């Protein structure tokens, strides 16, 4: 059976969304509640820049409906470093700040690397080994977003699969994309929204992404995407997360809602 497809945006606080996505005079303190009523997931980006308290995570969890999931962008202090193998303490601080207070609303953690970070097999293998499988009895799932062309290497794909870590796919005009499925879920970021399109992407593009999302959820590696390895993983249903982020950000909520409507 296909797994769940969750679709959303990055964050929920963005002034241009007030009046274009959020209704006029909608209370700012209830913006998360509104966004969660129309999305099925949100990628929290603030965790990349700052630490939060356990009560922050608990409050966010209480503001969203059952079945809704947050993904977390991991701290830049974990990934923006010369030697990734030395990130253990930073990773522990990030995981230990209270993220488990999200409870069953906690989805994957996204570890995003700078575009200048090249593939160093030994160092990357050491980093992946530092990612904890659990914290305080809660299972953790991980995705890595690499943004240098050197990672388009079958050795990197094999390494991620061995570690059980997803390779985040980014539809980006700026960075090379790697679509190889590696973990037990799929993580995708659609980053090429255009302001001229009411939903960020054209209707035909959204139809295409809906088909790709169904393929991912059914365990496929959909045709027409850039793959680094000639080998495909075993076909098995996978939870799929898709976020409209960057690009023409004002269009992101409308793109997400349009794709949710197509998925049905």
Q: How far apart are CA 142 and CA 233, in angstroms?
A: 17
Name the domain count of the chain: 1
Is 238 within 8 Å of 181 (Cβ atoms)?
yes
**Residue-level pLDDT at 238:** 96
Cβ-count burial 36-65 (b if 16+ within 10 Å, e if not): beebbbbbbbebbeeebeeebbeebbebbe
Per-residue pLDDT of the chain (264 residues; tens, 9 = 90+): 346 999 999 999 999 999 999 999 999 999 999 999 999 999 999 999 999 999 999 999 999 999 999 999 999 999 999 999 999 999 999 999 999 999 999 999 999 999 999 999 999 999 999 999 999 999 999 999 999 999 999 999 999 999 999 999 999 999 989 999 999 999 999 999 999 999 999 999 999 999 999 999 999 999 999 999 999 999 999 999 999 998 899 999 999 999 999 998
Q: What is the DSSP string of 243-260?
A: EE-SSSGGGHHHHHHHHH
Note the pLDDT of residue 247. 87
The per-residue pLDDT for 246 is 85
Q: What is the CATH classification number for the domain harbouring 43?
A: 3.20.20.410
Distance between CA atoms of residues 241 and 219, nearest Å: 13
CA distance 92 to 96: 6
Domain span at 227: 5-263
The pLDDT score that the predictor gives to residue 3 is: 62
Element (H, E) at 207: helix 203-217
Residue labelled with tokens 């009411």:
198
pTM above 0.75, yes or no: yes
């Amino acid at each position: 059976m296909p797994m769940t497809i969750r679709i959303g945006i990055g964050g929920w606080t963005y002034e241009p969304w007030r009046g274009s996505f959020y209704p006029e005079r909608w209370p700012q303190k209830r913006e998360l509640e509104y966004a969660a009523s129309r999305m099925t997931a949100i990628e929290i980006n603030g965790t990349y820049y700052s630490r939060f308290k356990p009560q922050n995570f608990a409050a966010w969890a209480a503001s969203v409906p059952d079945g809704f999931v947050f993904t977390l962008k991991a701290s830049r202090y974990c990934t923006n470093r010369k030697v990734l193998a030395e990130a253990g303490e930073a990773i522990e601080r990030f995981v230990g700040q209270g993220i488990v207070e999200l409870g069953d609303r906690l989805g994957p953690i996204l570890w995003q690397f700078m575009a200048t970070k090249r593939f160093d097999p030994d160092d990357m293998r050491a980093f992946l080994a530092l990612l904890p499988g659990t914290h305080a009895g809660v299972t953790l799932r991980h995705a890595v977003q690499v943004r240098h062309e050197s990672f388009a290497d079958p050795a990197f794909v094999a390494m991620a699969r061995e570690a059980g870590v997803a390779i985040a796919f980014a539809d980006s005009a700026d960075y090379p994309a790697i679509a190889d499925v590696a973990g037990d879920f799929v993580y995708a970021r659609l980053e090429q929204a255009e302001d001229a399109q009411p939903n960020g992407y054209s209707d035909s593009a959204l139809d295409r992404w809906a088909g790709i999302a169904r393929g991912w959820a059914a365990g496929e590696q959909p045709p027409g995407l850039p793959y680094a390895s000639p080998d495909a993983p075993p076909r098995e249903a996978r939870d799929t997360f898709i976020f409209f982020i960057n690009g023409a950000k004002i269009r992101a909520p409308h793109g997400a809602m349009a794709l949710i409507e197509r998925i049905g």
